[in-house]
């Protein structure tokens, strides 16, 4: 196999690691095996060879990324270069920002106090519990 032909082939797990979707290759492999990564609408294996123009859906926690492969790389580089290897769809970006806003709103509503309650908070809790019966 000549050198030019090798450059055109990149494994899915290596590409996900190089584009910084996952911190390590084992984490990328685990996500692929777990069914959290789809290539062109189908489940893939870690050794799947990517091509430019492939459509990937990547689930990380609550976020679902829908990206199109724009470049191939098997080495991890700076984040600025990694972001040039893919293009996120408009709908995917919009959905992720909506989820982030919802999480921020919920976080403000349910802000929890760290550690033990002070005297005032403890008395408020006791009053509340007595009212409930």
- Mean pLDDT over 72-99 rounds to 93
Quick one: pLDDT band at residue 108, thresholds 50, 70, 90? low
pLDDT of residue 17: 96
pLDDT at residue 73, rounded to an integer: 92
Q: Report whether 38 contacts 17 (CB < 8 A).
A: no
User: Whole-angstrom Cα distance, residue 38 to residue 120?
Assistant: 52
Give the pLDDT confidence score for residue 106 in this predicted structure: 74
| Range 92-97 average pLDDT | 93
Q: What band does 105 get if pLDDT is binned at 50, 70 and 90? A: confident
pLDDT score, position 112: 65
pLDDT at 4: 43
pLDDT (tens digit, 9 = 90+) per residue, 31-73? 999 999 999 999 999 999 999 999 999 999 889 999 999 999 9
When pLDDT is averaged across residues 22-36 and rounded to a whole number, the result is: 96
Which residues partner with 68 through β-bridges? 55, 87
H-assigned helices in 8-118 = 12-18, 25-33, 79-82, 90-109
Q: Which domains does the chain have, with CATH numbers?
A: 3-112 (3.10.290.10)
* 3-class secondary structure, 59: strand
């Amino acid at each position: 196999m000549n050198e030019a032909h090798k450059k055109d082939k990149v494994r899915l797990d290596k590409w996900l690691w190089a584009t910084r979707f996952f911190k390590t290759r084992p984490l990328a492999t685990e996500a692929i095996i777990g069914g959290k990564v789809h290539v062109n609408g189908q489940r893939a294996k870690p050794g799947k060879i990517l091509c430019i123009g492939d459509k990937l859906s990547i689930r990380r926690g609550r976020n679902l990324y829908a990206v199109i492969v724009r470049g191939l790389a098997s080495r991890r580089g700076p984040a600025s270069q990694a972001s040039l290897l893919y293009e996120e769809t408009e709908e995917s970006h919009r959905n992720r920002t909506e989820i982030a806003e919802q999480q921020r709103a919920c976080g403000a509503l349910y802000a929890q106090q760290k550690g033990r309650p002070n005297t005032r908070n403890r008395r408020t809790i006791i009053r509340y519990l007595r009212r409930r019966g």
